[in-house]
Amino acid sequence: MFEAAKRGNVMFLDIIWETYPDTMFEVDGNHCSIFHVVVMYDHYSIFSFIHIIGPLKKDLIVWKSDEDQNNILRLAGMLAPTDWLSVVSGAALQLQWELLWFSEVREIMHPSHHENSERETPRALVTKEHGELKKWETNE
C-alpha cells in the first residue's frame, strides 16, 4: 500500500480501500499514514480521497505526526523528491505547483496545526525548502 502511495497508484488504493476501508489508517515504521506518504510525493489524485472519508476520519488522519514530529502540513512544506520534480519542467512551474500543493493541504488542516511553537512553522519551512527553486526561477 505504501509503495502504491509513493508511486501514485490511485486504482490500487481505491480497490484496497473499497474492500478494506480500515487500511486507510495503517501507519508504516516511521508512523506515516498513507496520506503522509501521498503528501510527501505530491499525489493530489490520492490526497483528494481525504475529502470523501468524512470529517472525523479526516481529523484522525491529519493530526498524526510521523516519528520526526512532522504533520502533513510540514510534509507539504518540504520539497518533493527530485525524481518527481523532473516531471514538471522549469523552476517557476515547480515552485508554483509546490506552493499550490502546500495551500491545498493547509486548507484541510485545523488552524491549530498550522503552527508549531517548538519548530519552524510549516510556512517558514516552505520558504527554506524552496529557496533553490526561487533562485532557479530568477535565473531562467
The string of pLDDT tens digits covering residues 39-91 is 888 888 888 888 777 777 777 777 788 888 888 888 887 766 655 545 556 66
Q: Which residues pair with 27 in a beta bridge?
A: 33
Provide φ and ψ at 27, rounded to 5°. Answer: -125, 155
Over the stretch 84-99, which tens digit does the pLDDT of each residue have? 545 556 666 777 777 8
pTM: 0.71
In whole angstroms, how far apart are CA 16 and each of 1, 5, 78? 8, 12, 28
Structurally, what CATH architecture does the domain formed by 2-139 represent?
A: Alpha Horseshoe (1.25)
Pick 118 or 117 by higher pLDDT: 118
